[in-house]
């Protein structure tokens, strides 16, 4: 059975990390893993690690840092160590609707190489806006698309820009695959 691996960079936000991991724990489809990559050594995550020490789907590692590059160094590390067929890179302050994994794996079974969904975005940090996603700058986020590990291969996020997620998915769409699927549902919340 196919699984989605969530690569989650984090730095000094253990409370946010607890929330995203909880959103994964309540997924209706259990075929996922989470690779939490801590950007720099810190003891802030001891409590979170203790909460998930018995959960075989959640793994922790770290990179030297902090890198101050929007989590791209940690994401690239996660890509280098990815184990599952499907990859979702995200942030520690994002959340997933309980049917995210189920919807995305169903779409992947249709032969897609890249899948994305609509999202809610807290644009002003005080109100959520629904966004009809498309592969265009400002309309897609790192956490609302999934790609096959074989498609992204040796690609890496460019670490000097917060726009790296759009550039990454745009490159995959233009040069790596024509097998793209969109789920016209809000299954992802970006904070």
pLDDT at 81: 95
Q: Is residue 69 predicted with pLDDT exceeding 70?
A: yes
Query: In which band, very low, low, confident or very high, does the pLDDT at 169 lie, cut at 50, 70 and 90?
Result: confident
Structural domains present in the chain: 4-190 (3.90.550.10)
pLDDT at 79: 92
User: Tokens representing 25?
Assistant: 């724990």
Q: What is the DSSP string of 69-97?
A: STTHHHHHHHHHT--SSEEEE--TT-EE-
CB of 6 closer than 8 Å to CB of 24: yes
pLDDT at 125: 67
From CA 127, how far away is CA 181, in angstroms rounded?
28
User: How far, in whole angstroms, is CA 111 from its chain's centroid?
Assistant: 20
pLDDT at 182: 97
Residue with tokens 């994401």: 75
For the segment 90-117, what is each residue's pLDDT rounded down to a tens digit?
A: 999 999 999 999 999 999 999 999 999 9
DSSP state letter for 117: E
From CA 24, how far away is CA 57, in angstroms rounded?
10
């Amino acid at each position: 059975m196919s699984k989605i691996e969530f690569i989650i960079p984090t730095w000094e936000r253990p409370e946010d990390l607890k929330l995203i991991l909880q959103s994964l724990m309540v997924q209706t489809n259990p075929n996922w893993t989470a690779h939490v990559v801590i950007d720099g050594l810190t003891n802030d995550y001891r409590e979170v690690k203790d909460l998930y020490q018995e959960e075989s789907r959640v793994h922790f590692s770290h990179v030297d840092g902090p890198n101050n590059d929007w989590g791209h160094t940690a994401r690239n590390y996660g890509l280098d160590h990815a184990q599952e067929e499907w990859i979702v890179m995200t942030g520690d302050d994002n959340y997933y609707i309980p049917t995210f994994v189920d919807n995305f794996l169903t779409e992947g079974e249709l032969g897609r190489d890249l899948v994305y969904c609509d999202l809610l975005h807290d644009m002003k940090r005080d109100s959520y806006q629904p966004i009809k996603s498309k592969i265009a700058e400002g309309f897609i986020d790192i956490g609302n698309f999934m790609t096959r590990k074989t498609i992204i291969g040796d690609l890496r996020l460019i670490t000097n820009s917060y726009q790296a997620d759009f550039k990454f998915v745009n490159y995959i769409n233009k040069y790596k695959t024509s097998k793209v699927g969109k789920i016209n549902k809000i299954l992802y919340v970006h904070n």
